[in-house]
Amino acid sequence: MTKIAKRNKNASATRTRNWALIVYPDSAPANWKEIINSWHIAWAHSPLHDKDINPTSESEEEKKAHWHVVLLFDSVKSFDQVRELTSVLNCPIPQQVNSVVGAVRYFLHLDDPNKYQYSRDEICSYGNIDIDELLKPSQTLIKAQIKQIKKLCFEQNIDEFCDADDFIDSEYPELFDTFMTHSYYFSTYFKSRLFKRLRQESEQK
């Protein structure tokens, strides 16, 4: 294979449809959203990340405020093509996105509970992007959350569905969607726990 062919192959390998950016309020043009909209692509940006902590700081210094952005092109684009577009935003160089789901979940820090949890309501999307679909937890995560809810209820000695509903809603809101989506399972589970307890108490008399 010639050197030219090798270079062409490498260039082709770096082309992808999905790219990510970080945009800073203090350097981006005031109309940066309108600029991206003028490209006529699907895209989304995170809530303003103004509560992130610099992990290298000993005094919990906050990072400079920024937005995370994902750009979803209709066709594959090279780094140079994307950089030519995004240079007007005065932002760091664009990065390839391996997982749109992972990128959007990072908008809220959903998979890193040690980081500040931003609000879903502050995600903005443009074009054909279903944010709610992208934020759905995987089956593996759902199973882990169900186990966590059962463990929490056991530790708190909660035997009633209504008490579990109030407890999860107020103390663990990140688990509430899973709790409600599987409400029939948990309702049956609590009834079974209650019948088991009543049977044991009856046998002890």
Shared domain for 27 and 123, answered yes or no, is: yes
Pair 24, 111 in one domain? yes
The pTM score is: 0.69
Find the domain containing 21 and state its range.
Answer: 3-134
Q: pLDDT band at residue 73, thresholds of 50, 70 and 90?
A: very high
User: Do residues 81 and 175 share a domain?
Assistant: no
Tell me the per-residue pLDDT of 1-56, one tens digit each, with 9 for 90 and over: 444 444 444 444 578 999 999 999 999 999 999 999 999 999 999 999 999 998 76
Considering the domain architecture, whether residues 13 and 96 belong to the same structural domain is answered as yes
Q: How far is CA 39 from CA 29, 127, 147, 196, in A?
A: 16, 11, 45, 62
Q: What is the pLDDT of residue 174?
A: 79
- The DSSP annotation for 63-86 comes to PPPBEEEEEEEEEEE-HHHHHHHH
126 with 144, same domain: the answer is no
Which of 108, 134, 160 terminates a domain? The answer is 134
Which CATH number goes with the domain that contains 46?
Answer: 3.40.1310.30
* Same-domain check for residues 80 and 130: yes
